[in-house]
Amino acid sequence: MTWQVATVKDIREESVAARSLVLDVPEWPGHFAGQHVDVRLTAPDGYAAQRSYSLASAAVAAAGYAASEVEIMVQRIPRGEVSPWLCDVAQVGDQIEVRGPVGGYFVWDPSRTEPVLLLAGGSGVAPLMAMIRTRREAGSRVPFRLVYSVRDPDTLIYGDELNRRVRDDQGLDVTIVYTRQTPPGWRRPAGRLTGDLLTEAGWPASMSPASFVCGPTGFVEATANLLVAAGHDAAWIRTERFGPTS
Amino acid sequence: MTNVLDWVDGNDIAGTARELFALDLTTARGKCANCGREAMVAEAHVYNRAPGLVVRCSGCESVLMRLVRSPDRAWLDMRGLSYLQFSMPGAAHAP
């Protein structure tokens, strides 16, 4: 697998500290929802830095996307080597190097039939969004539930699209959990995801759902432990941790 | 600042490993030479904020693998693994 040149086709600001980048990758071979792409930036002096990003675009060509286009979501990490450039400097038309898709562990295949529970912490929602988009594009009728934990309304990513999909994508439920500050009049006070909330918004262990947990390492550890405590089989819990809290 | 959660998981090394292996390393099952735990590489702990990648057992935290990449070569130390078991192409989830 080799590096290839990708061109930034579109940029969407998603929150105060995150943006989506649509990349045109001419030789893109296709991907599964949940897979990654590595991004490499090289300075004029030859110094190169690379980071792995989850693909957020549907695994099958979605409306409005050419087959060679993929989307990533980048959260600005202060003092990061790659994300500040992608978040603050990159413009439509810029070229970067990418390699992918990579990773086969944290993936959802639309031919699967078990109910799916998606648990996102912050920008960990990106690969889960790929699964939600893939479900729709593939015409899957598998019931999906997303429980999405974010700090406050300013850091909510994909808010409008999730609202629209809850209305249009049959069998998709979305529960947002605000940990620090809620929108005015929100039905639950701010606070972390609890076992009780998971019981209410997730699937019971008896349904043998496939669970995908993605977020900062602390979130993933805590959430996977809640699932196991609720009787979920660890073999059905797939996890992806991207480091300390953003 | 040292943080006990200052690691990511084995999913992170998928691309770098793909330069060296014909198959996806993250879905390979590895056995820890220290504690005997068997788990997918994706579930291991990866410390990537260093010149190289250090992969540690999610059970006992002993080093499973070390990978250092320079522009023209790679060093791979796998002495912490008793073995790796790969699903061969044709099995589920081979990209």
**Chain B residue closest in CA terms to A112:** B92
List of residues 6+ apart from A185 with CB closer than 8 A? none
Report the alpha-carbon distance of residue A169 to residue A69 in Å, rounded: 23
Residue type, A118: L
CB–CB of A178/A155 below 8 Å? no
The strand order across the sheet containing A172-178 reads: A172-178, A144-150, A116-121, A210-215, A237-241
Residue A30 tokens, joined: 């296709």
What is the nearest CA distance from A186 to chain B, expressed in angstroms?
Answer: 31
**Residue A127 in contact with residue A148, Cβ under 8 Å?**
no
Q: Which pLDDT does position B42 carry in this prediction?
A: 96
pLDDT the model gives residue A63: 58
- In this prediction, residue A76 has a pLDDT band, given cuts at 50, 70 and 90, of confident
CB contact under 8 A, B11 and A240: yes
A142 confidence band (pLDDT: 50, 70, 90): very high
Q: How confident is the model at residue B87 (pLDDT cuts 50, 70, 90)?
A: confident
Which candidate from B3, B15, B71 shows the least CB-CB separation from A52? B15
Please, what sign has the CA dihedral across residues A176, A180, A184, A188?
positive
pLDDT tens by residue, B13-64:
999 999 899 999 999 999 999 999 999 999 999 998 888 999 999 999 999 9
Task: Report chain B residues whose CB lies below 8 A from the CB of A242.
Answer: 8, 12
Would the ipTM clear 0.85, i.e. be above it?
no
The predicted structure's pLDDT at residue A65 = 67
Binding-face residues of A in 85-144 toward B, CB within 8 A: 99-107, 109
pLDDT band (50, 70, 90) for residue B94: very low
Nearest chain A residue (CA) to B20 = A1
- Contact call for A109 and B94, based on CB within 8 A: no
Which pLDDT does position A60 carry in this prediction?
73
Sign of CA dihedral B82, B21, A129, A142: negative
Q: Which residues of B touch A37 (CB under 8 A)?
A: 15
